[in-house]
Amino acid sequence: MAAPVQGWFDDRSGWSSLRKRLAARRVRGNSPLLYVGGLLAFLLVLQVASGLLLLLHYQPNAAEAHASVAFIVGGIPYGALVRSIHLWCSDLLVLTVIVQLFSVAIRRAFRSPRELMWVSGLFSFFILLAFAFTGAVLPWSQDAYLQARVGSEIAGQMPVAGPLLRYIMRGGDEVTTATLRHAYGFHVAVLPAALTGLLFVHAVFLRRAMPEPTSERTPGTIPIYPDYLVRLGTVMTAALVLVISLATFVERPLGVAAEVTAAAPDGASPPWYLLFVHDLLLRAPPELLGVPSAKFIVGAGAVVILLAFFLPFFDRRGSRVTAALSALLLFAAVMLSIHAVL
């Protein structure tokens, strides 16, 4: 019974010949890039799938947003699990891209011909951060409201583009109910469209920049089928087990509904990947080199980000200095984040 069904399926899908072709092609089995890309794609699929499920019951207006998320969590079977998967997956996505970006910088893998992969990868990272920021506003809890104020205030300190960025993030001059509408439009329409376009471009550059799979049995290479695909499947299964375990056992409380008239956002805690900026801003003296310290620190951060985009063009060979500075930056950010938590 199985053989005729397999033959019927083969005729229509061409699976057997594809499998033979994949078994004849080999890739470098120990290249982390081959697995990180697959892992990111998998997390993104999980994120979009859980986001679409949330969309079925979420109400994008200030009067009902918080109650609708409370209903998802308390009134719908597995709703709490789906929301928690969306939250944990978001954190893992951001973490994986940070690790990937620093690993590329430290290994100097942005060199020719991979310059445009680096640039499109960096853009994708900022789109993911925008997803995380707008998503955090959507439950319209007190924490969401404070994060919207703190996040947009920090971005507003950026030289030149700061005020415009703050305006876009708030959907106006202040954080109001319009901020929620804006965040929703970005989260479910603008950012998914932008990320899809960018990932397509990234994949085109990747295809051009990565060595073609070979049919030669050189040391360190493995067949795409089954070896590489089985290894990739193991990485994805491990990620799925991790996300579901975190979502099941580590609670992410929703908190109380937002009070838009609330006073200054004292005590608002930023997301983990911005802890180091927040810590620097809190502990800095009022002025640095005659400039208000918030403007100085955010301005310096903006310069580092701008330089990072052009890194492969001014450091064509990928110098050891760049690699050492990247490692130092990562170390400082981790230390400051630990300091902020303790």
CB of 27 to ligand HEM, least distance (A): 28
Q: Is 263 helix (H, G, I), strand (E, B) or coil?
A: coil
CB 294 within 8 A of CB 155: no
Cα–chain-centroid distance for residue 245?
20
Per CB under 6 A, does 52 bind ligand HEM?
yes
Contact 273, 333 (CB under 8 A): no
Q: How far is the CB of 131 from ligand HEM (least distance, A)?
A: 4
The smaller minimum CB distance to ligand HEM, of residues 247 and 311, is found at 247
Choices 8-16, 48-56, 196-204, 324-332; region in contact with ligand HEM by CB under 6 A = 48-56
Q: Which of 198, 217, 201 is nearest to 209 (CA)?
A: 201
Is 81 a residue that touches ligand HEM (CB under 6 A)?
A: no
Q: Which two tokens stand for residue 244?
A: 């579901």
Number of residues that make up the chain: 342
Q: Which of residues 250-309 bind ligand HEM (CB under 6 A)?
A: none
Tokens standing for 27?
């890739």
Figure out which of the listed residues 38, 46, 58, 312 binds ligand HEM, where binding follows CB under 6 A: 58
Q: List strand residue ranges (DSSP E) for 177-293, in order.
A: 221-223, 287-288, 291-292
Q: Which two tokens stand for residue 115?
A: 């310059």
Question: Which of 136, 239, 297, 298 touches ligand HEM (CB under 6 A)?
Answer: 136
Q: Are 50 and 82 in contact (CB under 8 A)?
A: yes
E strand or H helix that includes residue 251: none
Of 128, 236, 268, 298, the residue at the interface with ligand HEM (CB under 6 A) is 128
Residue 221 φ then ψ, to 5°: -100, 150
**Minimum CB distance to ligand HEM, residue 70 (Å):** 10
The answer to whether residue 187 forms part of the interface with ligand HEM (CB under 6 A) is yes
Most distant CA pair in the chain: distance in Å?
81
Q: Does 151 bind ligand HEM (CB under 6 A)?
A: no
Part in contact with ligand HEM (CB under 6 A); list of ranges 83-91, 159-167, 207-215, 274-282: 83-91
Residue closer to ligand HEM (CB basis): 23 or 45: 45
Judged by CB under 6 A, the chain residues 88 through 127 that form the site for ligand HEM are 90, 93
Dist. CA 39–CA 207, nearest whole Å: 17
Is residue 67 at the binding interface for ligand HEM, with CB under 6 A as the rule? no
Indicate which single residue of 36, 41, 48, 109 sits in contact with ligand HEM (rule: CB under 6 A).
48
Burial of residue 50 (CB within 10 Å: 0-12, 13-18, 19+) is buried
Alpha carbon distance 219, 323 (integer Å): 28
Report, in Å, the least distance between residue 71 CB and ligand HEM.
10
Which DSSP helix (H) or strand (E) runs through 57?
Answer: none
Q: Which is nearer to ligand HEM, 52 or 332 (CB)?
A: 52
Nearer to ligand HEM, 44 or 300 (CB): 44
Grouping H, G, I as helix, E, B as strand and the rest as coil, residue 33 is helix
Strand segments (E) across the chain: 26-28, 221-223, 287-288, 291-292
Kindly state the smallest distance separating residue 164's Cβ from ligand HEM, in Å: 23
Give the helix/strand (H/E) hosting 311: helix 293-314
Q: CB 334 → ligand HEM: shortest distance, Å?
A: 20
Residues in binding contact with ligand HEM, number by CB under 6 A: 23
Min. distance of Cβ 79 from ligand HEM in angstroms? 9
Q: Which is nearer to ligand HEM, 90 or 142 (CB)?
A: 90
Contact residues for ligand HEM (CB under 6 A)? 47-48, 51-52, 54-55, 58, 69, 83, 86-87, 90, 93, 128, 131-132, 135-136, 138-139, 187-188, 192
